Structure 1
Amino acid sequence: MNILICIHSLSGGGAEKQVHLIAGGLSRLNHTVTVLYHENGPKGDELEFVDSKVNYIKIPYGHKNPLLIPFLFKYAKKSDIVISWILQMDVLFGFLKQFINFKWLFREPNSDYANNTLKYKLRHFFAKKASGIIANSAAGMQLWEDFLCPKKVIYNVAYQGNLLQNTNNKEINFAYVGRFIEQKNVMRLSQVFNLVSKKLPVKCDFYGKGSDCPVIEWSSSVINNGFISKPDDVFKKVKFFISLSKREGNPNSVLEAMLEGCLLVLSDIPTHREIFSGAPNSNVLFVNLMDSNEVIAANIIDFYSRVELVNNVDWSPYLSGRENNQVVNEYNNFIIQVSRGDGE
């Protein structure tokens, strides 16, 4: 089967890593897989996730170039199924679907949207002709519960091969790894942690990049380490992972922190709770974003005092079923299901 996966950028984030893993896995199942991308092809440490059988093609036209649509049309028509990855590509292939018939799946990587922008409205309108929808969280699938096309929740790949427990001794520090954008609530995270550091001898290392970098309240306790392509290098040595995201899908950084046995401080949102199947766990603190910064800081300080002697947490019961080949097989089965039906 000829499978076309389309993403705007391969800049090294969690969504991009999932593209590499799923594309490579599908190619090993004897599919012919092509990845179209607009910006930033795979490089450096990302290459370890790139399968040599996958055909990566950079789109030579910008979004405003009239030659873009004929270019995408050509690839859509010669593919058995198209999977668009991230909003920009959802809109482009959703637009194409209004005029030509091809099998089109798109992924839902979020659980809700704070800003119902024109792009999201267009995506929602075009989705009426989607052949299928994949969401990486049950909360995200609820956004499409009224749509009649085939739908499936497939969680992100969390690990490859055997699930090995990290036994490294860890520093007693916190880390945030992710984009510096409004959705991730990084400015508030910096404010909260500056309060925490007044009571505890700890720091929070930030790893990432993004438009909200200038509004983060950097200090001797809130440190900008820039972008890192291998987050597991951080999680191997840091004791706590912290995220106050306003909304998520199936957050890769949380899964990667769990793989390395980190203690967790997470915003109390549905997709964070979903990882733990609603079951309580003393090694994760859920914070209510409706609370004041002072209350959140006090809760973090109390949590720290309770778990300070814990060195590595065994999160394996929560990560079962998320191995690379298992997730790829779920994609493969759903792709076959959609390709055999009309999906309309």
Structure 2
Amino acid sequence: MKITFLIDVMRRGGAQKILSLILDILSCNGFEVQLVVLKKTQDVMEIPNIKVFYLLGSEKEPLLSNSFLLLESFSNIAKDCDLIVSFMDFITSYYAVLGAKILSKPYCIFVRCEPSFVENNFSQSSINHTLYAMCLQGALRVVCNSRASCKDVEVNFGVLRTKIDLLYNPIDTAKIMRLSQQALEFPKQEGEVFCFAIGRLHTQKNYLTLLQAFKALPNFIKLYILGEGEQREEIEAYLQTHQMQNVILLGFKENIYPLLKKADIFIHTSYYEGFPNAVLEAASLGLPLLLSNIPTHKEIFEDKALFFDPYNAEELCENLKGLIKNTALLAKLKKQSFEALKQYSMESFSKEVLRIFQEVKIALGKPS
């Protein structure tokens, strides 16, 4: 069975890491897979032994005015496949589904977020809702990475429950522990508290609320942010305007784990997440977690983290100050964050990926 996956970009993000795992699992178990990427970015995650096609050579090239070219190129690449799979929300799904319709191919959609929340940020939210609902309802299977996403596509987008699969992202704790052993000079003065945040510098990650909280904190409580993105200039301007010395932008790092191991507390302020990979990575190192009270955070960590309103910088600030003073709670959260990872093993993930695609294969009448 030949499967063509489509994604918007292959930066080194959480969704891209998961996609690379899925492609590897399928290719090692008798499936023929290939990947089509809408735009080639400067920062590219390479996937060994997988055929990859880039439709546009630069992220600066617009999608809309190139739509016919994109659809023609995608259709030529995917014409011999048995199944098309969209692996990113909204615009990626539109191209995947249009390509599938042109070729009269079945398709599946992987949902990486809570779509009804994300669409509220679009200026044309109503038309996006209608289009995405049409795409989801016509899919052979819709694969979500949280219970919240499953509920959202069923209740708000009209997808039949029998079509929906839940596939949690995995966490490779052994690999993270191994990579975290890399030697690293990262000096810390007596009395300093190191807080870390990880993620693309984007409005979704809600960094401005995080900065507002740290503006009210003393300089011995430091925040290190790992990640790059389009919001860097805005964040730098904020730090300069408020003369903040306790927030440091570390940019993108190939191996974040030796740095993350230096943290005393991990903070994640996102307005929404499909599945918070960065939080699980922090939990795998036993870090106490201070998280926005969004459904996906609470679904995974329940009573194993400290939560705050992502729109309330003062609450975040007070929670952080209280956590620093409460050594017993810090120790408890360190233990509990790691315990929350048990159901997200690589073995479970691999079994679920194969189950989903084997069932699709049977539904399409393909030989084993």
Task: Tell me the TM-score normalised to structure 2 length.
Answer: 0.80
Over 3 Å counting, the alpha-carbon distance change for 1:321 and 1:29 in structure 2 is: farther
Residue matched to 1:233: 258
The alpha carbon displacement at 1:303 in A equals 1.2
Residue matched to 2:287: 262
> Deviations for 1:61-113, whole angstroms, at most 9, x for unmatched residues?
76333332122223333222222111332110122344442221111111232
The counterpart of 2:159, out of the listed 141, 147, 152, is 147
Determine the C-alpha separation between the residues in 2 that align with 1:141 and 1:330. Answer: 16
2:74 aligned with 1:72: yes
Query: Alignment partner of 1:57: what SS?
Result: strand
The gaps in structure 2 that reach 5 residues or longer are: none
Query: Alignment partner of 1:319: what SS?
Result: coil
Equivalent residues in 2 for 1:1-344 (5 A)?
Answer: 1-40=1-40, 46-47=45-46, 50=47, 52-60=48-56, 63=63, 64-65=65-66, 66-87=68-89, 88-111=91-114, 112-113=117-118, 114-116=120-122, 117=125, 118-145=127-154, 146-148=158-160, 150-159=163-172, 172-195=193-216, 197-198=217-218, 201-216=220-235, 217-218=238-239, 219-276=244-301, 278=302, 280-281=303-304, 284-290=305-311, 292-307=312-327, 310=331, 313=335, 315-341=337-363
Determine the C-alpha separation between the residues in 2 that align with 1:120 and 1:160. Answer: 37
Determine the C-alpha separation between the residues in 2 that align with 1:164 and 1:208. Answer: 20
The alpha carbon displacement at 1:210 in A equals 2.3
Tell me, yes or no, if the aligned pair for 2:197 and 2:223 is still in contact at 8 Å: yes
Determine the C-alpha separation between the residues in 2 that align with 1:39 and 1:60. Answer: 5
The alpha carbon displacement at 1:121 in A equals 4.1
Determine the C-alpha separation between the residues in 1 that align with 2:224 and 2:176. Answer: 26
Tell me, yes or no, if the aligned pair for 1:10 and 1:42 is still in contact at 8 Å: no
The alpha carbon displacement at 1:234 in A equals 2.6
The gaps in structure 1 that reach 5 residues or longer are: none
Over 3 Å counting, the alpha-carbon distance change for 1:18 and 1:78 in structure 2 is: same
Determine the C-alpha separation between the residues in 1 that align with 2:56 and 2:39. Answer: 9
Amino acid corresponding to residue 209 of structure 1 in structure 2: E
Greater helix fraction, Structure 1 or Structure 2: 2
Task: Compute the RMSD of aligned alpha carbons.
Answer: 2.9
Higher RCO (CA 8 Å, separation ≥ 6 residues): 1
The alpha carbon displacement at 1:167 in A equals 9.1
